[in-house]
Structure 1
């Protein structure tokens, strides 16, 4: 007697998204110095019928939530983990901006390790696989 192969959590999520009829989910990655460009990409992706998730906090801009340096560092760690969760949730990744720093490069590597398609608003800065 054969038993069905148990689905991985990723397969279960993909199946649930199909059952729910969800449109493609795109996560926007990139340096928060390009928040205006991220907002524009959000607009364009949403208009194209995609669900968009992106960074919600710009630690480079002053705000009371991260004015204390110790709290800012702790928040950065939590936000990085949250963004990795957004990458796991997404069907594809859109990297925004003409510059890719270490954090964004790590996000691209992570997305590719999950076999997520990665697009670039500036393909000339795309790191090789």
Structure 2
């Protein structure tokens, strides 16, 4: 049961969303539903598949990608549960790596769709 404002000391469950940013809209939808369910949601903060000045330069983009990968692992560290956003069952290479990392920490993992064995970058 989610904590309410009148239960001091308790905090809402923290979930982290993992999934390919090619499904940016599905990640946003999952964020909406998890938030409405009373969870604190940690999610990818950048969609590097869309053009942006922050990652227009390839060298800067590579550094940023490494930083984002590091930050996402720290989000997994903080989370009580991992929610894999995988429309059509898709789980790519990066997401698979995050799932493997979460498993080493003993984090519960939930999928938005039945998972299939596919790969992405």
Under a length normalisation based on structure 2, what TM-score does the superposition of the two structures give?
Answer: 0.86
- Out of 57, 82, 96, the residue aligned to residue 68 of structure 1 is 57
Unaligned runs of 5+ in 1: 1-18
Given that residues 120 and 126 in structure 1 are in contact (C-alpha distance below 8 angstroms), is that contact kept between their aligned partners in structure 2? no
Q: Which residue of 2 aligns with 1:116?
A: 107
Number of residues of Structure 1 aligned to a counterpart in Structure 2: 109
Structure 1 runs of 4+ aligned residues shifted over 4 Å read none
For 1:124 and 1:70, locate their aligned partners in 2 and report how far apart those are by CA, in whole Å: 34
For 1:124 and 1:35, locate their aligned partners in 2 and report how far apart those are by CA, in whole Å: 18
- Out of 30, 33, 52, the residue aligned to residue 44 of structure 1 is 33
Given that residues 46 and 52 in structure 1 are in contact (C-alpha distance below 8 angstroms), is that contact kept between their aligned partners in structure 2? yes
Under a length normalisation based on structure 1, what TM-score does the superposition of the two structures give?
Answer: 0.80
Given that residues 26 and 92 in structure 1 are in contact (C-alpha distance below 8 angstroms), is that contact kept between their aligned partners in structure 2? yes
Q: Which has the higher helix share?
A: 1
How much does 1:125 deviate? 2.5
Unaligned runs of 5+ in 2: 1-7
Task: Choose 1 or 2 for highest CA Rg.
Answer: 1
Given that residues 17 and 44 in structure 2 are in contact (C-alpha distance below 8 angstroms), is that contact kept between their aligned partners in structure 1? yes
RMSD (Å) for aligned C-alpha atoms: 1.5
